[in-house]
Amino acid sequence: MYRVVEARPLADRVHALVIEAPHVARNAKAGQFLIIRKEPGGERIPLTVSAVDDDRVRVIFMTVGATTHQLAELQPGDTILDVAGPLGRPSEIPSGETCVVVGGGVGIASCPILARTLREAGNRVIGILGARTAELLILEDEMRTACDELYLATDDGTKGRHGFAADVLKEVIESVQVDSVWIIGPAIMMKVTSEVTRTAGIRTWVSLNPIMVDGTGMCGSCRVIVNGEVRFACVDGPEFDAHGVDFDHLMQRQRFYFEEERHALEHHHATRCGCSGEERHG
């Protein structure tokens, strides 16, 4: 059993949990993820390592379906049945480069640990955070500390530049010699944003989030296509060369269990609060 030591909302439908998990915290590196199972018979869900501190690990998640809604109800002192990890390959960290870390939406969760790791390895780090609206721009202070420079963008112009993170990235690579870029966010955002660096020939990594089940390379559910080859995101990734990723295939597979997920969420709402599940819950 793993004890929750901190649980707090960060924004609308976005929550942070700090969990006591010494074996994970001591070994986790930027780019890796955990698989969490809240209770016996519960779904196993992958969440990125957002921060580590002594024997604690932080995850940040958006409530999208039944399991993330259950996690959002946890309070300090509650326990989680399984925290498996760290899983996946750590980010490949260069040194002496100018690196850009672009986070979109809840993908921002994994940006500070990556930015910090890059900086500690002697890189100059430029951060770009993008979200739909100001309230969803999480972890701004942590990123300001972790990066040499930080730019913000919101779709509705309520904070930072009015526009997308991709627009800011375009301006940055036009004004600075950039060596490597990481883009972490929803699949469509990673697809669009990585086009900015394709023509400039800048090495670009994206962190892929296909459906995962076992997280150990055995079940095949997380298969993605990169440079025309099948790769398993849980063991070969989750970070891959952005310019080789077949994003349309990824997005199609992410919708594979849509009906089952909808039923599970309706069941969660019906049993927990008696509503139809069509309302939004934080």
Ligand X SMILES: Cc1cc2nc3c(=O)[nH]c(=O)nc-3n(C[C@H](O)[C@H](O)[C@H](O)COP(=O)(O)OP(=O)(O)OC[C@H]3O[C@@H](n4cnc5c(N)ncnc54)[C@H](O)[C@@H]3O)c2cc1C
Please report, as ranges, the residues that interact with ligand FES according to CB under 6 A.
212-215, 217-222, 232, 234
Answer for the pair 239, 206: CB distance below 8 angstroms, yes or no.
Answer: yes
What the block records as the tokens of 29 is: 């590196």
Burial class (CB in 10 A: 0-12, 13-18, 19+), 158: middle
Q: Does 64 bind ligand X (CB under 6 A)?
A: yes
- Shortest Cβ 28–ligand FES spacing (Å): 18
Which partner from the list ligand FES, ligand X, none does 85 bind, CB cut-off 5 to 8 Å by kind? Answer: none
- How far, in Å, CA of 229 to CA of 231, rounded? 6
In 3D, which of 141, 146, 245 has the Cα closest to residue 193? Answer: 245
Measured from the CB atom, is 4 or 219 closer to ligand FES? 219
Backbone φ and ψ for 258, nearest 5 degrees, come out as: -50, -50
Which partner from the list ligand FES, ligand X, none does 172 bind, CB cut-off 5 to 8 Å by kind? Answer: none
- Shortest Cβ 187–ligand X spacing (Å): 9
- Shortest Cβ 220–ligand FES spacing (Å): 5
- Shortest Cβ 177–ligand X spacing (Å): 31
DSSP string over 212-256: -SSSSSSS-TTEEEETTEEEEHHHH-SEEEGGGB-HHHHHHHHTT
- Shortest Cβ 173–ligand FES spacing (Å): 33
Q: Does 184 bind ligand X (CB under 6 A)?
A: no
What the block records as the tokens of 47 is: 């969440």
Measured from the CB atom, is 129 or 196 closer to ligand X? 129
Residues that bind ligand X (CB under 6 A): 33, 43, 45-48, 59-62, 64-68, 106, 109, 209-212, 238, 254, 258, 261, 264-265
